[in-house]
Amino acid sequence: MEIDAQRGGRVAALRVRDLDLLVPAEGDALRWGLYPMVPWAGRVRHGRFIFRGAVHQLPLNLPPHAIHGTGFTRAWNDEGGGCLSIDLGPDWPFPGRAVQEFRLEQDALHLRLEVHAQQQAFPASLGWHPWFRRRLARGGDAQLRLPARIMYVRDAEGIPDGRTQAPPPGPWDDCFTQLEGSPILTWPGALRLHVESSVDHYVVYDEPEHALCVEPQTGPPDALSLAPRVVEPGHPLIARAALRWEIE
């Protein structure tokens, strides 16, 4: 495992025996490795949200929307022992910080992500955005088992509007909930990967030919408006995930 604290506090590489699981570094910070999404995950519609009567505007880093938080393009502080930290930065309207922990075992990578409020409450969501290679050095193309009962409906802007439906066949760039088990990625003849998490939403993006993304997060895209989790000083929002593999 390789952690790149300087480029978004992300897992830059994850190798299981001779198999590299993640898309390697490229110019666009959105599209490689496994990075944290904090203090929001996914898109914020037009970068705008309202909290306790006040309107807040975020920079539009994927116009016309804001996407994936303030941490994935910035340098994190290496605290040692597999721990990184960062302040939420000038693009977030509330003082706060995020903390990550990484723990590698023989058959799993364990992740923990926290967002802390320092002076006042604010809404938040968080999650991880892994870019898995569709093809490994051996074995067949990746296949996804996603035991989800519910998918959010996206509107004309490609963002959930609160409605839900039963999941249709893919390909997807969608958010799912009410899972009856963890998503499982299988590269036939090579490796099986369980994407486990303490959260109850997953975004799946499997449209690219070279990669697919299975993203655990605490709420749907635009959660700052649709389903905010309120973080209070002394009461952080915490999520855990694990990538657990089996060699085939």
pLDDT at 159 over 90: yes
Return the CATH number at 167. 2.70.98.10
Torsion from C-alpha of 37, 42, 43, 44, nearest 10 degrees: -60
Q: Are 215 and 130 in contact (CB under 8 A)?
A: yes
* pLDDT value of position 166: 97
pLDDT tens digits, one per residue of 65-108: 999 999 999 999 999 999 999 999 999 999 999 999 999 999 99
Q: Are 89 and 98 in contact (CB under 8 A)?
A: no
| Helix/strand/coil for 229 | strand
Which two tokens mark 166? 């039963």
Has this prediction a pTM greater than 0.75?
yes
Q: Given the structure tokens 């009856």, which residue do they identify? A: 180
Determine the structural domain holding residue 108 and report its residue range.
Answer: 2-247
Number of structural domains (the chain) is: 1
Amino acid, single-letter form, for residue 111: L
pLDDT at 27 over 90: no
In angstroms, the CA 94 to CA 40 distance is: 13
Report residue 241: phi and psi, to 5°: -150, 160
